[in-house]
Structure 1
């Protein structure tokens, strides 16, 4: 865990040196780079593995709980009914289309579900949340995390270039970014290029997308609970925690996330408390995502990951195009 924490600090220094690189993206990328060094693999797969596994699971869940303190129901209500409905539709349609595409190309295990969650909701954090509720193996999470990191990084470069051809003003561009880019850090890095108006719109829309994580996880948890017998070996081996319990309908960290949203909405928390929570949440997620990144092996992805790459790129193009339509429709309806 200490190694993962130091790596998160190194990712923060990279972010300070190159602000265009989001901290969480840098953390995942650093983990992926370290995992490719042959001399370090014996450490990653040996004495460091228990601490990295704990970081990837427990710290990720705590970070997701604290992420709820960024959300205010008042800010969400300020988007208006039309925009909120558009956000929900984009999430649900992207999730469904990605899941279907993943199964059509024959992705193994829970990879279609994890890729669908990552691309439709909130990137690597959603992959981690869905992994927890489905008891997915670490190896099943590696490819989806690599894909959302790749496509989210591409979005930082490509989306600003298309703003003028699409005719978006700053607010519309921010809405599009919030609807289509994966991780919160990637949203900030992409939207800030168009100024504070775009950044504000993007963050509110993105965090509203994050709120859909709770019901989506709850629905998937209910389905998995019905599909997984109490005596199933997969319920024991997938997580490696030595438990034969079926996946919970609503994991405790999701309830904590919802509780944090409610607290943020009804309790006037001091700015200092929110700032500390934000720093802690970012540090925990960076530590967890580095740990998740260390499980990615490029050689294995090259042998088996081309189908997943097709699904990931297809999902990214779909959500970007669907979000453009959503912006046009919501703008037209709001103007009436």
Structure 2
């Protein structure tokens, strides 16, 4: 049946761009899962962002990625990423954090803070463009690509500013899977100490699991709890940056465009102090701590399993979309300074984390 001036198929065609982009991201997630099954050492999320990065280098694929697929991939890179971060909160219980002890919590907060501050400062000293310094600082100090995506939302970053930090945390996090286990024996680390080191220093949760499981279940358990405690620091970090952004907007508005100290800022609504998805993440942590235990072990296990699957799928789709924005040719021309900052940040957090392990031992 047709309507005036068109056909019944037109509404479907108008929806097709974002539906097609999401379908491609979902297909890439299935492929990433297959890669993880075939090579367990490669985390599914790392495989997903790697597939996106490969697709982004193929000229024919670039035209499609920047054309008909762009609306759907944009939804995946932003909305699905934020929903995945919310579901990530269900993995973390305040009881688990308390079980670490106050000394470990202080060490975690200090390492995150020092790494973030030093990386941000180094990035500014090397004059990285746009918001790259703060995005690289967030990714390396907290939780990799997820933190980059979360920080880009509150800083209103451009896609080209986000692409380089995503590439760097993926590169260094993947290297950690192979480098850290080799160093375990020479450093004399027990399985538990190795897990703490991995949880303190490796970026994405999937990369932490892939690295720590090599040393066995004790290392894996320690790594996951420490890593998820690091993830929790994302909420106050985003809140602080959101407050700084709002004050900068207000200061600019008071100065006016003609003032010599006026700084050109993105034309967008003022960022919230605490974005909705970060509030959702905190709420999910509280639900995991206080509500799910009331449901019983079977129900809690079912909810957590479903949430884990949903979070992994959503983040894999988001990371494929983010990876597809990366262009190695552009990075080769302009990204060498960012590479130096990223590698320096990786070495810094690994060294600080190893020192933290020795303090806590």
Tell me which interval the TM-score lies in, with the shorter structure as reference length: over 0.9
Aligned to 1:263: 287
> Which whole-Å deviations, capped at 9, do the CAs of 1:187-216 have from their partners, x for residues lacking one?
000000000000000000000000000000
2:156 and 2:341 map into 1 onto residues whose CA distance is 22
Q: 2:168 aligns with which of 121, 133, 147?
A: 147
CA distance in 1: counterparts of 2:264 and 2:314, whole angstroms: 31
Shift >3 Å, 4+ stretches: 229-236
Q: In 2, distance between residues paired with 1:248 and 1:189?
A: 35
CA distance in 2, matches of 1:40, 1:88: 42
Distance 1:54 1:137 in 2: 15
Give me the whole-angstrom Cα distance separating, in 2, the residues matched to 1:194 and 1:130: 32
Are the aligned partners of 1:235 and 1:247 in contact in 2 as well (CA < 8 Å)?
no
1:191 aligns to 2:212 (yes or no): yes
Report matched runs for 1:73-112 at 5 Å: 73-112=94-133
Contact 1:65–1:254 at 8 Å: present in 2 too? yes
- Tell me which residue corresponds to 1:248: 272
Aligned residue in 2 for 1:69: 90
CA distance in 2, matches of 1:235, 1:298: 26
2:324 is aligned, of 294, 309, 312, to 294
1:9 aligns with 2:30: yes
Residues 42-64 of structure 1 deviation map (CA, whole Å, 9 limit, x = unaligned): 11011110110111000000000
Task: Answer yes or no: is the 8 Å Cα contact 1:228–1:235 preserved in 2.
Answer: no
8 Å CA contact 1:235–1:246 kept in 2: the answer is no
> Are the counterparts in 2 of residues 180 and 320 from structure 1 also a CA contact under 8 Å?
yes
Cα offset for 1:233? Answer: 7.3
With the length of structure 1 as denominator, give the TM-score of the two structures.
Answer: 0.95
SS at match of 1:106: coil
Report the number of matched residues: 324
RMSD of aligned C-alpha atoms?
A: 1.1
Give the aligned partner of residue 241 of structure 1.
Answer: none
Tell me, which stretches of 5 or more residues in structure 2 are unaligned? 1-21, 254-262
- Rounded to whole Å, the distance in 2 between the matches of 1:164 and 1:127 is 32
Between the aligned partners of 2:358 and 2:249, the Cα distance in structure 1 is: 42
Equivalent residues in 2 for 1:303-314, closer than 5 Å: 303-314=333-344
Aligned residue among 159, 171, 186 for 1:138: 159
Aligned to 1:235: 266
| CA distance in 2 between partners of 1:55 and 1:233 (Å) | 29
* Superposed CA offset, 1:202-243 (max 9, x none): 00000000000000000011001111248797433xxxxxxx
CA distance in 1, matches of 2:266, 2:337: 26
Rounded to whole Å, the distance in 2 between the matches of 1:145 and 1:40 is 19
Distance 1:110 1:71 in 2: 29
- Give the distance between the partners of 2:46 and 2:95, measured in 1 at CA: 29
Q: Which residue of 2 aligns with 1:272?
A: 302
Contact 1:187 / 1:202 at 8 angstroms: preserved in 2? yes
User: Counterpart in 1 of 2:54?
Assistant: 33
Q: Secondary structure at the match of 2:266?
A: helix
Which one of 203, 217, 220 corresponds to residue 238 of structure 2? 217
Q: Determine helix, strand or coil for the equivalent of 1:235.
A: coil
Secondary structure of the corresponding residue to residue 157 of structure 2: coil
Distance across 2 between alignment mates of 1:35 and 1:211: 32
1:103-122 deviation line (CA, Å, top 9, x unaligned): 11110110000000000000
Query: SS where residue 100 of structure 2 aligns?
Result: coil
The C-alpha deviation readout for 1:103-152, integer Å capped at 9, x for no partner, is 11110110000000000000000000000011101110000000000000
